[in-house]
Amino acid sequence: MKPATFEYHAPTSAEEAVGLLADLDDAKALAGGQSLVPMLALRLAVFENLVDLRRVDELRGIETRDGSVWIGAGTTQATIGRSESIGLNVPLLARATPLIGHLQIRSRGTIGGSIAHADASAEYPAVALALDVELDALSPRGRRTIPAAEFFTGTWSTELEEDELLTGITFPVWQGRAGFAVEEFARRHGDFAMAGACVAVGVGADGRIDRCAISLFGLGPCARRATEVETELIGTSPADSDADEIGRTAMAGLDSVPTDLHGSASYRKRVGAAMVARAWRRALQEAVGD
Amino acid sequence: MTDVDIQVRVNGIARRASVPPRLILADFLRVNCGLTGTHLGCEHGVCGACSVLLDGEAVRACLIFAVQADGAEITTVEGLAEPDGELSVVQAAFRDHHGLQCGFCTPGFVVSVTAFLEENPKPTDDEIRDALSGNLCRCTGYQGIINAVRAAAEALAESGGSASRDATAKETE
Amino acid sequence: MSGSQQATDTDRYAGRRVKRVEDARLLTGRGTFVDDVVRPGMLHVNFVRSPIARARITGIDISEALALDGVYAVLTAADINPYVHEQWFSLEGRHAPDTPRPPLAEGEVRHVGDPVAMIIAQDRYVAEDAAELVIVDYDPLPPVVDYATAFDSSELVHEAYPGNLVGQIGGRPMADLAPTFDNAPHVVSETYHQQAYCAMPMETRGIVTEWSPSDGTMTIWTATQSPHEVRGFCARLLAIPEHSVRVVMRDTGGGFGQKVLPLREDMCLMIAATKVPAPLKWIEDRQEHLLAAGQARHEHGEARMAFDDDGRILAATIDHVQDAGAYPSPNPVGSGIAVGLIFPGPYRIPEGTFNSRFAFSNTSGRVAYRGPWQFESVARECLLDVAARQIGIDPVELRRKNMLRRDELPTANCNGMPYSDITPLETFEQALEILDYDAFRREQEQARAAGRYIGVGTCTYVEPTAGASALYGTEGATIRVEPSGKVNVYVAGGSCGNSLETTVIQLTADALGVDIADVSSIQGDTAVTPFGGGTGGSRSGPMTAGAVNQTATELRGRILALAAHLLGGVPVDEVEFTRGVASVKGSPEKQVTLAEIADTAYFKSGSLPAELSVGLEVSGRFRAQHLMLWANATHVCTCEVDIVTGEVKLLRYIVSEDCGPMINPNVVEGQIFGGTVQGIGGALYEELAYDDAGNPVTTTFMDYLLPTAAEVPTIELGHVETPSIGPGGYKGVGEGGAIGAPPAVINAVADALAPFGVRISRLPLTPATIVNLLEEAAQRGAAGAAAAAGAARTAVAG
């Protein structure tokens, strides 16, 4: 199980990196490599050129800005897990981090790599989607910012062009009474989730739900939002919410739910409904419990 | 495929090499450096047998190309004991609690636990199980390993020592 | 400690938690596994494997691969297979019926992963590049994927086997028992289907072969449980003298049965080494392992039991079918028969019989795996729980009523297996007491009332260990006191984590009467150790103890004779020898050490009377006195099932076992823990699965799910100690955990879900499977309710 040959490039700036991605044939960016390298080892993926981002310092860092937190795409999951600022300001991200693989994976895996890889079962894309993050992308044509809602386009596919690099992610900091929870179900601890849900919920001064986001993972080609349920919940009283019903509604009409050895689409939806319900209860309890 | 020059420190010894980009770090350690304690059990990042410390963090050496380790400080299982052969606290705890049988997965466990106890010196049982879940063992049923980690944490707490001999190089981003 | 003291039981090393001598090297990365072996000029092998379950090979083009830089050779069946001289396993014997086993696929590929060509290159990277350049033309044929329907298939895996039947074996005709079943107040039956899963050692297979053409000798380093099996196999394969083959294994990274026998790739390396002027290394990667290292446990069987009004078992039968895959090793019939023979288990069953059939399929070949007959316990113990529910009696009470008691032993079960020295009821009661069964039942009632579903399951089994088959019937040891008085013990070895070095050192120190620090053991090198069967069949403990005791007793006699001479010519029976120091009884002040005795034996032979032997070395060979030594255990498991997700969380896990006296409790417990977790894996997580076209769908560790530390509960142990009739009273303990765990887990899940009317018959119990069972039971319940309602309406209308 050895990778095929490739040429190796280790640029020192993001601009140089996207230049290489644009100029080289069959080139792929290499971040933490925790998803890419197994694919290369199994020869499920073969590239002529790998552009390693490890020397691009500008891609790493955590900065608290006005009402938001910026995280460099190359920041490792372990660094995020250790960050007090993220624990305080982006609790959903902090809570999702220990669910990613295992500690040896988190040492190397990066937030940008996870989001750009866009695995349907991964936690970070669902967190990004739930929190409506803004994704900074760089290409030889310049910089642009992509809203999370437009970023994930299908199975392992995103809005990024082949020569475009995810450079940073801006997470809004939710103010006021809010609660956050992520729940997932995997065959074993640390495995990719068969079904999972992120919930972020805010309660206004009138005691009613004024913000609400529910995202799902493992339940489609890529992470997705349960927008219809969210809309119904806005303006309702937390006491009236029926978590199980919310879970069921979030699953209603979901198409392209995967089926494999470990479970059918209908099984995943059953579990997905439970994960939504459990996450909803926990998040809501946190939001109203203050 | 153009070979790439790299320079790394492995168990405190500087090594220069010109390696093909596709050479996996585990193969670099095993073949180029002759450090065969790092084992390959799956080569796709699940079993954890190849775990090594890279700048103080436990990583899977099958998911890193040697070229990516350029400039890094690497500690393998061979680098954990004292130079005179005295076992590290973690290694000794594994011996004392029957934390190994065939020994194939053992280097990965010992290295991972060393990093884990650096970061979390007083883990709960659940945290221990969580930390161990990235390493597969087929012999022990994990019972002796869990006991060993608990014992190592207690021994470190009593001695005020550090799990790894050289815990200087933790990445601080 | 005074050298003059007589050794007492507390002085013995056996029975103590002696620290393992293997650990220092293994903990510091200084073990020597086969992949650590490097030979000058060594080349690396990779196999081109079939991507199709069954196809005719219509052409192989190796030219592009051969042209690749760094490729030395590309060999196909025509280059390898004609050089097979003889191939059979010492385990089975020359004349045992065997199944086909060509090194490389010839004419037809018979499973995905079937080796078709062999690349020899400068390193594994290039060898994998070259494999992609070999062009094989396949003409696909309809595969026989499902072994369960293979007997009726018009397609044949091997032309010479009509109906895909490998073989069939059984007891008296099932029809004989019809009257008993027809007249019994209660008859319970269920057909259980077990999935394929496997040993999955953390170290894959691997072999290095080095041929020396000038003197016709072969040296092999390999991951094996039995170096002597590999040596004999290679000698016969190549038609070279047995002593021209040397097999070396230092550390093997787990075996569990998978590494008992050399397989097809090993044959390729043995033959190819004689064709190329370089040593060859093949290290299987995990994907190859999942494709071609074999499968086990893939079987189903209809289990039936008849009971009287009081719940006493009247008869038990099993009609069993096992998947042999395309190329089983060994022929599965010989060990598969044990499923039927042991099906009655530890119960008083007046009548019974069995039938076992073995089917070829176009999947990976069946290999040995830790307790290869384990299905007997699955079928029996799960059926007993079904029976308890059906008859309306507590499953523990049902077992108490039927389990063999000590005063009934020795006895033979209804299929003729001779039981002795077992304590099933004692382990059963001990395990239940550790749990506090009654308290659990009360807790279960409260939990159910609160909408939580917890359950308890048990499994009690008896297990034949140290079976005295032809290869396994003897074991040798050579013990040498070196001139300095230090001791080396040579045994065949084959340790794969079962701590044989430490065990042998403990046994030798005790049997000779020396300090354990003065003993070292040399194992796993056929050039220097006595012949031996290796690790397999839970034999290492008892058989090695027999060999060491017999040999050490003779050597100790020689030590005592020399000591008597050196102590002034006292009678030998007045000499005490403890911890390496000899003295005269009653005169502890006069001593002579083993170092002095050895010095005399080697260097002062001229000073010795002629009747005393010089040197201090003895070889001995122990012959098993019994066909098998019985061990037994009870597993008790509690679990909670999440009825929404189907997740099973194990709450408590208890094993009470009787393996006789323990040589090293750490080692015994380690074997039980490890086996148990493999059994938990088999019940809940692991499956080597194929799709309908015969494509494996679990080809990585992302799909083949081994339990991790996070899935495994704390395992609580109880011991009952009944000596066996074998050496030292020891019994084997390597396999049992893997036998007892699956039924205990399955029964716990079934018990948790009993309120829903769930019946379990297919494994593994994945969360999705459990949800399906719940949904099916709900439908049955609804249908049943509808039928009842319909019947009620009819009754009213009538």
- Strands (DSSP E) contained in C700-758 are 715-719
Instruction: Tell me if A266 sits within 8 A of C775, measured CB to CB.
Output: no
- pLDDT, position C546: 95
- pLDDT, position A78: 98
What does the pLDDT look like over C168-194, one tens digit per residue?
999 999 999 999 999 999 999 999 999
**How far apart, in whole angstroms, are the C-alpha atoms of residue C304 and residue C309?**
16
- pLDDT, position C2: 38
Q: What is the secondary structure of C339-380 as a DSSP string?
A: HHHHTTTTB--SEEEEEEEEEE-SSSPBB--SSTTTHHHHHH
Do residues A151 and A205 share a domain? Answer: no
Based on the structure, what is the number of domains in chain A?
3
Instruction: Tell me if C331 sits within 8 A of C97, measured CB to CB.
Output: yes
Residues paired with residue A158 on neighbouring β-strands, in sequence order: A152
Establish if C287 touches chain A: CB-CB under 8 angstroms.
yes
Establish if A12 touches chain B: CB-CB under 8 angstroms.
no
Establish if A101 touches chain B: CB-CB under 8 angstroms.
yes
Chain mean position to CA C657: 17
Do residues B73 and B8 share a domain? Answer: yes
**How far apart, in whole angstroms, are the C-alpha atoms of residue C703 and residue A156?**
19
| pLDDT-derived band at C10, boundaries 50, 70, 90 | low
**How far apart, in whole angstroms, are the C-alpha atoms of residue C545 and residue C622?**
9
- pLDDT, position C797: 47
| pLDDT-derived band at C782, boundaries 50, 70, 90 | confident
* CB nearest A1 (choices: B21, B44, B131): B44
Do residues B99 and B56 share a domain? Answer: no
- CA proximity to A108, closest of C785, B134, C147: B134
**How far apart, in whole angstroms, are the C-alpha atoms of residue B50 and residue C366?**
29
Q: Where is the domain boundary, C585, C607, C623?
A: C623
Do residues A159 and A204 share a domain? Answer: no
Which element (helix H / strand E) includes C154?
none
* Helix segments in C260-359, DSSP class H: 264-273, 286-292, 332-342
Backbone phi and psi for residue C737, each to the nearest 5 degrees, phi listed first: -55, -40
Residue C4 has pLDDT above 50, yes or no: no
C-alpha distance from C125 to closest chain A C-alpha (Å): 6
Residue A40 sits in a domain of what CATH number?
3.30.43.10
Query: What is the percent of chain C with per-residue pLDDT over 90, rounded to a whole number?
Result: 95
Q: Would A84 be classed as within a structural domain?
A: yes
Do residues A45 and A70 share a domain? Answer: no
Do residues A109 and A168 share a domain? Answer: yes
ipTM of the complex: 0.96
- What range defines the domain where residue C100 resides? 34-141+204-252+259-292
Residue A31 has pLDDT above 70, yes or no: yes
Establish if B48 touches chain A: CB-CB under 8 angstroms.
yes
Q: Would B34 be classed as within a structural domain?
A: yes
Instruction: Tell me if C683 sits within 8 A of C641, measured CB to CB.
Output: no
From the candidates A58, A79, A83, A107, which should be mutated to test the interface with B, based on the most B CB atoms within 10 A? A107
CB contact under 8 A, C702 and A274: no
Partners of residue B46 in chain C, C-beta under 8 Å: 700-702
Q: Would A2 be classed as within a structural domain?
A: no
Establish if A8 touches chain B: CB-CB under 8 angstroms.
yes
Cis peptide before A258 (omega within 30 of 0): no
Do residues B56 and B118 share a domain? Answer: no
Do residues A113 and A139 share a domain? Answer: yes
Do residues B64 and B104 share a domain? Answer: no
From the candidates B6, B23, B57, which should be mutated to test the interface with A, based on the most A CB atoms within 10 A? B57
Q: Where is the domain boundary, B30, B58, B79?
A: B79
Do residues C346 and C443 share a domain? Answer: yes
- What range defines the domain where residue B69 resides? 4-79
Do residues B49 and B108 share a domain? Answer: no
Average pLDDT of the residues of chain A = 96
Do residues A187 and A159 share a domain? Answer: no
* CB nearest B4 (choices: A8, A107, A188): A8
Residue C448 has pLDDT above 70, yes or no: yes
C-alpha distance from C579 to closest chain B C-alpha (Å): 24
Do residues A142 and A191 share a domain? Answer: no
- What range defines the domain where residue A108 resides? 57-172
Residue B170 has pLDDT above 50, yes or no: no
Residue C548 sits in a domain of what CATH number?
3.30.365.10
Alpha-carbon distances of C302 from A150, C165, C305, C402, C743, rounded to whole Å? 56, 18, 10, 21, 16
Q: What is the dihedral of CA A274, A277, A280, A281, to 10 degrees?
A: -110
Establish if B88 touches chain A: CB-CB under 8 angstroms.
no
Do residues C489 and C608 share a domain? Answer: yes
Partners of residue C709 in chain B, C-beta under 8 Å: 128-129, 132-133, 135, 137, 142, 145-146
Q: How many CB atoms lie within 10 A of CB A39?
A: 16
Task: Label residue B82 exposed, middle or buried (CB < 10 Å: 0-12, 13-18, 19+).
Answer: exposed
Alpha-carbon distances of C327 from A134, A136, B59, C101, C233, rounded to whole Å? 56, 56, 39, 6, 17
Q: What is the secondary structure of C580-613 as a DSSP string?
A: TEEEETTEEEEEEEHHHHHHHHHH-GGGS-TTSP
Q: What is the secondary structure of C182-201 as a DSSP string?
A: HH-SEEEEEEEEE--B----
* Token pair 């260990």: residue: C465
CB contact under 8 A, B102 and C497: yes
Establish if C776 touches chain A: CB-CB under 8 angstroms.
no
Beta-carbon-side half-sphere exposure of residue C106 (alpha carbons within 13 Å): 13
Do residues B134 and B71 share a domain? Answer: no
First to last CA, chain C: 94
Q: Which residues contact B145 (CB under 8 A, 6 or more apart)?
A: B94, B97, B99, B100, B109, B132, B137, C709
Residue C5 has pLDDT above 50, yes or no: no
Do residues C541 and C670 share a domain? Answer: no
**How far apart, in whole angstroms, are the C-alpha atoms of residue B127 and residue B119?**
12
Q: What is the secondary structure of B113-142 as a DSSP string?
A: HHHHHHH-SS--HHHHHHHHTTS--SSSTT
* CB nearest A54 (choices: B22, B62, B68): B68
Q: Where is the domain boundary, B25, B48, B79?
A: B79
Do residues A114 and A161 share a domain? Answer: yes
Find the mean pLDDT for residues A163-183: 97
Do residues A168 and A181 share a domain? Answer: no
Q: Would B165 be classed as within a structural domain?
A: no
Q: How many CB atoms lie within 10 A of CB B120?
A: 15
- pLDDT, position A153: 96
CB contact under 8 A, A8 and B65: yes
Establish if A266 touches chain C: CB-CB under 8 angstroms.
no
CB contact under 8 A, B44 and A190: no
Q: Would C794 be classed as within a structural domain?
A: no
Residue C83 sits in a domain of what CATH number?
3.90.1170.50
Question: Helices then strands (H, E): number in chain A?
Answer: 12, 14
Chain A CA closest to residue C283: A1
Do residues C646 and C740 share a domain? Answer: yes
Q: Which of residues 114-173 of A touch B (CB under 8 A)?
A: none
Q: Which tokens go with C351? A: 């009548």
Do residues C405 and C484 share a domain? Answer: no
* CB nearest C706 (choices: B35, B91, B136): B136
* CB nearest C29 (choices: B37, B95, B135): B37
Size of interface A-B (CB pairs under 8 A): 98
Based on the structure, what is the number of domains in chain B?
2
**pTM of the complete model beyond 0.80:** yes
Establish if C685 touches chain A: CB-CB under 8 angstroms.
yes
Partners of residue B171 in chain A, C-beta under 8 Å: 76, 79
Establish if A244 touches chain C: CB-CB under 8 angstroms.
no
Establish if C644 touches chain A: CB-CB under 8 angstroms.
yes
Which residue type is seen at C188? V
Establish if B170 touches chain A: CB-CB under 8 angstroms.
no
Do residues A102 and A162 share a domain? Answer: yes
| pLDDT-derived band at C790, boundaries 50, 70, 90 | low
* CB nearest C666 (choices: B85, B98, B107): B98
Q: Where is the domain boundary, B53, B79, B105?
A: B79
Residues paired with residue B54 on neighbouring β-strands, in sequence order: B57, B74
Find the mean pLDDT for residues C308-317: 98
3-class DSSP assignment, residue C484: coil
Q: Which tokens go with A44? A: 């499920």
Do residues B108 and B63 share a domain? Answer: no
**How far apart, in whole angstroms, are the C-alpha atoms of residue C371 and residue A126?**
45
Three-state secondary structure readout of C518-574: HEEEEECECCCCCCCCCCCCCCHHHHHHHHHHHHHHHHHHHHHHHHHHHCCCCCHHH
| DSSP structural state of residue A43 | T
Residue B154 sits in a domain of what CATH number?
1.10.150.120
**How far apart, in whole angstroms, are the C-alpha atoms of residue C784 and residue C787?**
5
Do residues B62 and B118 share a domain? Answer: no
Residues paired with residue A214 on neighbouring β-strands, in sequence order: A199
- List the subunits that have 3+ CB pairs under 8 angstroms with A: B, C
Establish if B81 touches chain A: CB-CB under 8 angstroms.
no
Do residues B20 and B75 share a domain? Answer: yes
**How far apart, in whole angstroms, are the C-alpha atoms of residue C798 and residue C787?**
16
| pLDDT-derived band at C628, boundaries 50, 70, 90 | very high
Establish if A187 touches chain C: CB-CB under 8 angstroms.
yes
CB contact under 8 A, A98 and B130: yes
- pLDDT, position C783: 76
Instruction: Tell me if B106 sits within 8 A of B50, measured CB to CB.
Output: no
Q: Would A41 be classed as within a structural domain?
A: yes
Q: Which tokens go with A188? A: 């074993």
Establish if A5 touches chain B: CB-CB under 8 angstroms.
yes
Partners of residue C286 in chain B, C-beta under 8 Å: 41-44, 47
What does the pLDDT look like over C712-745, one tens digit per residue?
999 999 999 999 999 999 999 999 999 999 999 9
Chain A CA closest to residue B21: A8
Helix B125-132, helix B106-119: angle, nearest 10: 130
Q: How many CB atoms lie within 10 A of CB C58?
A: 10
Residue A99 sits in a domain of what CATH number?
3.30.465.10
Establish if B128 touches chain A: CB-CB under 8 angstroms.
no
Q: Which tokens go with C187? A: 């008859």
More confident residue, A152 or C781: A152
CB contact under 8 A, B130 and A5: no
First to last CA, chain B: 33
Q: Angle at CA C258, nearest 5°, toward C256 and C259?
A: 95
Partners of residue A41 in chain B, C-beta under 8 Å: 24, 43-44, 62
Residue B57 sits in a domain of what CATH number?
3.10.20.30
**How far apart, in whole angstroms, are the C-alpha atoms of residue C15 and residue C665?**
7
Residue C7 has pLDDT above 80, yes or no: no
Q: Would A267 be classed as within a structural domain?
A: yes
Do residues A44 and A146 share a domain? Answer: no
Which residue type is seen at C341? L
Do residues A160 and A200 share a domain? Answer: no
Average pLDDT of the residues of chain B = 94
3-class DSSP assignment, residue C428: helix
Do residues B95 and B146 share a domain? Answer: yes
Backbone phi and psi for residue C597, each to the nearest 5 degrees, phi listed first: -65, -45
Instruction: Tell me if A204 sits within 8 A of A233, measured CB to CB.
Output: no
Q: Would C2 be classed as within a structural domain?
A: no
3-class DSSP assignment, residue C772: helix
Q: Would A224 be classed as within a structural domain?
A: yes
Chain mean position to CA B45: 14
Alpha-carbon distances of C557 from C5, C15, C513, C519, C597, rounded to whole Å? 18, 24, 11, 18, 13
Backbone phi and psi for residue C299, each to the nearest 5 degrees, phi listed first: -160, 165
Q: Where is the domain boundary, A115, A147, A172?
A: A172
Do residues B67 and B103 share a domain? Answer: no
* Token pair 């393996």: residue: C659
Beta-carbon-side half-sphere exposure of residue B108 (alpha carbons within 13 Å): 33
Instruction: Tell me if C703 sits within 8 A of A187, measured CB to CB.
Output: no
Find the mean pLDDT for residues C33-62: 98
Residue B169 has pLDDT above 50, yes or no: no
Sign of CA dihedral B59, B62, B65, B70: positive
- pLDDT, position C708: 98
3-class DSSP assignment, residue C622: strand
Based on the structure, what is the number of domains in chain C?
3
Find the mean pLDDT for residues C303-327: 98
Q: Which of residues 152-171 of B touch C (CB under 8 A)?
A: none
Establish if B63 touches chain A: CB-CB under 8 angstroms.
yes
Alpha-carbon distances of C530 from A178, C209, C216, C545, rounded to whole Å? 73, 22, 22, 14
CB contact under 8 A, C767 and A263: yes
Residue C791 has pLDDT above 70, yes or no: no
C-alpha distance from B103 to closest chain C C-alpha (Å): 5
CB contact under 8 A, A76 and B130: no
From the candidates A6, A262, A264, A269, which should be mutated to test the interface with C, based on the most C CB atoms within 10 A? A262
CB contact under 8 A, C677 and B46: no
Do residues C132 and C277 share a domain? Answer: yes
